[in-house]
Amino acid sequence: MKKYEKPYANHLNEYQERFKHFQNSLKRIDSLNRKYNPMTQFATNKFSDMSVEEFKSTYLMKKMNPQDLAPSCFTPQSLPTVNVKDLPESIDWRQKGVINAIKDQGMCGSCWAFSVVGNMESQYAIKYNKLLSFSEQMIVDCSKGCTEAYNQKVCNMGCNGGWMWTAMYDIIGWKGIESEQDYPYTARDSQCNKDNTKLIPSLVNYTCLSGSKGPASEDAMTSFLAYNGTLSVALNADLLMDYSSGIINPFVPSWECDPTAIDHAVVIVGYGQEYSWGIMTKYWIVRNSWGQSWGEKGYFRLYRGEGLCGINTAVLYAEM
């Protein structure tokens, strides 16, 4: 309560409910640490006084099978085949000055907008050598596009979720996006207040690496990260609520992080490998949108190479 400045100290009923959720979180965290330590560490955080259901409905999107989403990302492109042995062992775009500080989506299911903006900001900085901060709120308020996928509509719905490619398609149509300063984030749904005179020309196209033919090749993703920049991706976030540090490892069973049920959008900013406990583990470096107090200063690492949690099932990048 003190650490995260929780406001329910004088409300007995809410206090009792939150304390019950906290007790359940402690049990769940203990169980996760017994399974996955020492590679992954789980601990209490600002979400620990919430039920799992409340957390998911507040911060995540409705789970969807990436194969159902695939047609809405249009025709996926294949990257040139690269021998992964020729790639650097690690790359971290944070070290190149093209990644902004971690942002916080707040109590709004707008991760998709943060994934888009995070990818756009870094790609813009790589191309123009200028790191800007774009407006997530403009995307939340104004991107309402829908695409057809297996006879159902896939639409962007503000704080109730959306998908990165539909947002990028809308931004192309707007011919730009406003800055964070001109259209600040409020973490709630509002009317679209787009000002065409303040648009920053940016996105000209986007490319999907995953699609109707299946997940993206993680070797191709690694190659792209090495030479071209960050990737906008979605995954199953079931293990992120209690994540603290370390690499979410390859021994996670599919039922505990189902790769066919994705519900959270993030940005891959690099990759690496770590030798510990007698094992060489390859991983992705992933930027989240839950503030710097969560995870590894706002980031998490996920095992690279087996499509863990569906990390390679909804992959695209912005073209500036």
Compute the average pLDDT of residues 240-261: 94
Say yes or no to pLDDT of 2 above 80. Answer: yes
User: What is the SS3 assignment for 14?
Assistant: helix
Average pLDDT over residues 180-192: 98
Query: What per-residue confidence (pLDDT) applies to 80?
Result: 62
Burial of 165 (0-12, 13-18, 19+ CB in 10 A): buried
* Confidence band of 279 (pLDDT split at 50, 70, 90): confident
Q: 165 with 72: CB under 8 angstroms? A: yes
Query: pLDDT value at position 250?
Result: 83
CB count within 10 Å of CB 185 equals 21
Share above pLDDT 90 across residues of the chain, in percent, rounded to a whole number? 81
Lowest mean pLDDT among 9-13, 258-262, 306-310: 9-13
Residue 287's pLDDT is what?
98
Active-site annotation holds for 155: no
Q: Distances in Å between the alpha carbon of 76 and those of 162, 165, 166, 236?
A: 19, 11, 14, 21
pLDDT at 68: 84
Q: What band does 170 get if pLDDT is binned at 50, 70 and 90?
A: very high
Question: From CA 121, how far away is CA 34, in angstroms rounded?
Answer: 39
**Candidate list 236, 264, 309, 312, residue with the active-site label:** 264
Single out the catalytic residue among 111, 142, 208, 309. Answer: 111
Q: Is 146 a catalytic residue?
A: no
Query: Is 187 a residue whose pLDDT tops 70?
Result: yes
Pick the range with the lowest mean pLDDT from 43-57, 141-155, 264-278, 287-301.
141-155
Looking at the predicted structure, is the pLDDT value of residue 150 above 70? no
Does residue 112 fall inside a structural domain?
yes
CATH number of the domain at 244, please. Answer: 3.90.70.10
Q: Give me the domain span that covers residue 171.
A: 61-319
Q: Does pLDDT of 81 surpass 80?
A: no
Is 24 a domain residue?
no
At 239, the pLDDT band (50, 70, 90 cuts) reads very high
119 is catalytic: no
Domain count, the chain: 1
Name the pLDDT band for 310 (thresholds 50, 70, 90).
very high
| Whole-angstrom distance, CA of residue 270 vs CA of residue 320 | 19
Q: Is the pLDDT of residue 291 over 80?
A: yes
DSSP state letters, 68-98 = HHGGGG-S--PPPP--GGGS-S-EEGGGGT-
Catalytic residue among 142, 288, 309, 312: 288
Is the pLDDT reported for residue 22 higher than 60?
A: yes
User: Does residue 299 lie in a domain region?
Assistant: yes
